[in-house]
Every structure is written in structure tokens, then in C-alpha cells.
Amino acid sequence: MYILGIHTGHDAGACLFADNTLLAFCKEERLNRVKNDGGFFDLQSVDEVLQIAGITRSQVDAVAFTRMKFPVSCFKIGAVPFRDVRRKLLGQRRDRSLGSLMIRQRNLDASAFLDLAKLRRHMDLRADVALHFCNHHRAHVLSSLRYCDWTDDVLLVSCDGGGDAAHYSAYHYAGQQLHAIWGGEETLLGDPQNGGASIGLAYAFATTACGFRPNRHEGKLTGLAAFGQPIVAAPIVALFPVDENGHIHSELADSKALQRTLQQLFEGLSKEDIAASIQVATEQVVVGWLQALLKKHPAKYIAMSGGVFSNVRLNQLVAALPDIDEVFVFPAMGDEGLPVGACVDYWVATQGMARLTRDRLQHLYYGRPYSGEDLLSAGERRLFRVERSADHIEKTAQLLADNRIGAIFWGAMEMGPRALGARSILASPARREVNDSVNQRLQRTEFMPFAPYVLDVDAERVYDIDARNRYACRFMTITTRVKPEWLARIPAVVHVDGTARPQIIERASNPLYYDILDAFKRLTGLPTLVNTSFNAHEEPIINTPEEALQALADDRIDFLVCEGGLVFPAIEKK
């Protein structure tokens, strides 16, 4: 059974499952090159994932959607406002949120609003294709449930800026049963959560207050926080009381009231102090929430999803909670990961939880695969200097040891927001100054040192990694302490507080990435390398060979490495 997953909100994208096995994933921005793009129905990423798997739309058996944007032409007359009816009758193109109509009418039946037969025809699907519409936070939670193998005592939580009238959700898994604690379908059926109690929205409002773009630049605040003081953290925390049931409330009427209150608190503060305040407040609110949930629903394992859990410093604190054996953050924790959870939800709804395979992710390389020859041939066509050689790994290690900046182009692009060795910029960690030089070339304004990657055999030797965080560290979703003896030797990847955000790499998942670091370690004695995403400021991560070559031509990097060789500019800099 082929199940196509689609999310059409911001960070739109698609994925494809065969039964409950993920075959392909693509975020819309990787194709149209518009950062965080979404809010429309006809996605290029749908055909991309089908092509990756080698099937056509006629072979799709089911489509699992979030309740986001659908074409107005596919809504029933009377289900949409008059202005949309007029557009529908005139055949004008416009998309409309299904979720907003469900909330307004307190009706979860998609067929009450959509002409499902017309929607299938619009998508060129067979008439018998099943259509499934998944709750936003349930999709978040099921994406993390699918990729953790804990059988009992599991707390699953999601937290974000909002979806399907909720900002938080919590579930407990035990005995092959998933029980909703808070933030399930009741939010759509008459008990919506108050936007004034959303710590996710609060972080977004703080991002705006610092002059950055919300839903995009929150990570900048996480880094900036290290340079400020949490002057108003306490009054922010007071806005989000947590009750004994693990519910977060607020006396503020709505999200607008929250924004006004935060603006007053932030008045006169520096960006650094705003960032420190919201970071510390978020940590205290979310950890307090989890502690309340664990007190009422004891668990040894915590699985996290939703955009708030892209906050790697927060995740480190969650892993440190007492009596927790292990944590996991679904690597595509933001809304781009919703298609995965929607497909899992369809499988569980039709096949039952007992038939859901639950195993650990071995890698995230689910985009369109490219070979080294694809890059080398494209480089020759564009008259770059191409070196096909058997010793390209050793040459790469030497170039990095000589403080050259390279990028690896290997296989299929990664699922999620992190570059994890398929489209990564590599550099030596030995000099702190590399952060400034690389950011200048990429036109970035960043406040955190770069993330490192480390071989599986060296992980515990360099970083404070154990059974609680090792799985999360495979996907760069958590910070951890750097061992004291390494702090001065790898300054380019060490944060102000002595932590780093490492990625553990196993050779089976990406041999080229692994072998480059192994060669660099033998050459320099350093068991870690800088890994930052292969993209310039405000650009999505590189996808195709042509995009990689253009970055080389634009002097973003000094060289490219792939299977079988290296690519340099046509006229190398002196």
C-alpha cells in the first residue's frame, strides 16, 4: 500500500510510505528555493516524492493530509464563505483552510466541507483512493512514536505555535495503546487552547521584538541568549501557570494580549536580554509542564515533536530530568514533519496500533539521490576543475587541515532542518575564527558556534553522551557538554556555556562523510569536524548538483567533495 502524506501550511512538503515504511520525503522549499514556503495546495514536492519512489499518482492507494489548505474549487457550495463561493463559481484559483472551517462549525467530518470525488480528480488520483485528514498535534506525536522503539512508560509531547486550535499536546503510550492526555480532538470540538498561554507564540513574538522573522529565526535567539541576561524571565514564566493535570493556562485573553504584554516587558531591553529572557522562560515553562505530566503519568522515556523542540538547549534540560532513561526528538520536528505523522495516523486508523512497525531511524537521507558522477559531470560541463581520484578522501582531510572550507555532496538530501552529511559544509574545528569567516562568505549573521560531527567510536570520549541522549545526538537535536580536555582544542564548535550540538555518525549510514572525518582524525588528532548547513543566508539547503556548483562559483566554499572526486573553481584563488 502506497500512502502519500501532504502538508500545505507553512513549511509545506510531502512524503511517501509503502505500508508503514518511509520511502521518500521532500520539503517544498528544497524545490522552489523559497525558505519555509507553504500556504498553497498544489505542491511540487508531491510529484518529487513519487518520482523518487518510481511510481505515479495512479499507483497511490491513500493520501493523508493535515487540515490545511485545499483548493476552493474542491469545497462544497455552502461550506465556504460567499467570497469563496464566487471564486469557486468563476473558477478562480484560491486555497482555503479546512481546519478553520472545522473549528468554526465544530465538525471533524471533512466530507461535510470538501467534495472528495472532485479533490481526487483535482489530484489525478484513482476514484477509490482513500483520503485521510489528520489532527495537527496527533501527526506530530505519531511521527515521534513511529521512530522510537520503547514498548512501555512513554510520554509523547508536542509543543508549537499552534495547529488545530492547540499549542500543546501530551499522550501516554503503554501496552500498545496510545492515550491522549491533553491537546487531542477536543480542541476542535469546543475546548480550544488559549493562544495567550502559548510559549511557542511567545518565543515567536520575542523573535519579532529582536528584529528577526518569526517561524524562521528563532534559532538566532537561542544563540543570542548566551550573550544576555534573563532580566524578565520570571514575569514571563508567571504568564504560563501549569496546573496539577499538566495543563498550561493564562489570564491573558488571547495571543494578541500575549504579544502586547511581552512588548511591554521587552521595552528598553537589548536584543541579548530579550533572547536570554525568553530562552530561560521557555526552558522553565516547558520543563515545569513535563514535570507536572510525569508526576501524574510516570514515564521513563520522553518523545518530543513540534517546533518548540527545535530548541536544542531546552532538549538538553529535558534529557536531564530525573528518572528519565532516554529522550528522542523527531528530527523533522517542525511542521515539515507533519506529512510523516499523517501517514502513520492513517496506517494506525486502518490497520491498528499493533501492526505499526516501531523502530529507530538509521538515517534521514530520503530526498532525491544523486551520485558523485552527477556532480563531477555537471562540473565538467560548467568548466570547473574536476579531479577524479581514488585518494579524494585523504585530499579532503588535508585541505580541511589546511583550513580550507569544503562542502560534501552525497546521495539524497536530508529530511528535517539540519544538514547531516549529505549537504554539509565542512571545516576544521581548531580555530574559533572559522565561524566568522564562513558566516561572512555565506552572508549569515549567527551567534552560535557551528555544530560538530563525531564518529560513533569517539562520541563519548569528546562529548557528554550516554544512553539518555545518544539517539537524539544522531540527528543533531540536542546540546551536550564538551569534555573539559577538548574545550580548547575544538573551539569552533563550543558554545559559551561549554556545550556543543554534536551529530554522531555511523559509517553504514554515510561512508564518505565518516571516512573524511576518520582521515582528518588520523592526520590532525582531532576527532571532530565542523558541520554547518550547505546554504547561504535565507536560502534553503542545497539540493541539486547545479545548486552546489553555483555555491562554489559564488565563493561560498573552496571545494566540493563527492564519491569519486573533488571539484574546484575553474580559476583557483591564490
Give the model confidence (pLDDT) of 104-134 as tens digits: 899 999 999 999 999 999 999 999 999 999 9
Environment class of 439 (CB within 10 Å of its CB; exposed 0-12, middle 13-18, buried 19+): middle
Residue 572 has pLDDT above 60, yes or no: no
Q: Is 190 helix (H, G, I), strand (E, B) or coil?
A: coil
Task: Find out whether 27 and 8 touch, Cβ atoms under 8 Å.
Answer: no
Residue 252 has pLDDT above 90, yes or no: yes
Q: Is 408 helix (H, G, I), strand (E, B) or coil?
A: strand
Residue 92 has pLDDT above 60, yes or no: no
- pLDDT class of 79 with cuts at 50, 70, 90: confident
- Residue 502 is predicted with a pLDDT of 98
- pLDDT class of 445 with cuts at 50, 70, 90: confident
Mean pLDDT, residues 541-561: 97
Mean pLDDT, residues 15-28: 98
Residue 573 has pLDDT above 70, yes or no: no
Q: Point out the least confidently predicted range of 36-40, 280-284, 384-388, 466-470.
A: 36-40
Distances from the Cα of 308 to the Cα of 268, 377, 514, angstroms: 26, 42, 30
Mean pLDDT of the chain: 95
CATH code of the region 2-136: 3.30.420
**Torsion angles phi and psi, residue 155, rounded to 5:** -105, 125
Mean pLDDT, residues 71-99: 75
- Residue 574 is predicted with a pLDDT of 47
- Measured over the CA atoms of residue 544, residue 545, residue 549 and residue 550, the dihedral's sign is negative
Express each pLDDT in 297-306 by its tens digit.
999 999 999 9
Residue 216 has pLDDT above 60, yes or no: yes
- pLDDT class of 89 with cuts at 50, 70, 90: low
DSSP states of 16-67: EEETTEEEEEEETHHHH--TT--S-S--HHHHHHHHHHT--GGG--EEEEES
Task: Find out whether 53 and 39 touch, Cβ atoms under 8 Å.
Answer: no
Q: Which helix (H) or strand (E) holds 488?
A: none
Environment class of 231 (CB within 10 Å of its CB; exposed 0-12, middle 13-18, buried 19+): middle
Environment class of 170 (CB within 10 Å of its CB; exposed 0-12, middle 13-18, buried 19+): buried
Distances from the Cα of 132 to the Cα of 56, 111, 458, angstroms: 19, 10, 45
- pLDDT class of 439 with cuts at 50, 70, 90: confident
Task: Indicate the domain borders of the chain.
Answer: 2-136, 149-329, 365-568
Residue 135 has pLDDT above 70, yes or no: yes
- Residue 188 is predicted with a pLDDT of 84
Across 371-517, the runs of DSSP E, i.e. the strands, are 385-388, 406-409, 411-414, 423-427, 451-455, 480-481, 499-500, 503-505
Mean pLDDT, residues 50-75: 96
- Residue 461 is predicted with a pLDDT of 98
Environment class of 188 (CB within 10 Å of its CB; exposed 0-12, middle 13-18, buried 19+): buried
CATH code of the region 365-568: 3.90.870.20
Express each pLDDT in 461-518 by its tens digit.
999 999 999 999 999 999 999 999 999 999 999 999 999 999 999 999 999 999 999 9
Neighbours of 227 (CB within 10 A): 14
Express each pLDDT in 155-184 by its tens digit.
999 999 999 999 999 999 999 999 999 999
Across 316-419, the runs of DSSP E, i.e. the strands, are 326-329, 365-370, 385-388, 406-409, 411-414
**Torsion angles phi and psi, residue 563, rounded to 5:** -60, 120
Decide if 2-136 and 149-329 have a common fold: yes
CATH code of the region 149-329: 3.30.420.40
- pLDDT class of 538 with cuts at 50, 70, 90: confident
- Residue 536 is predicted with a pLDDT of 83
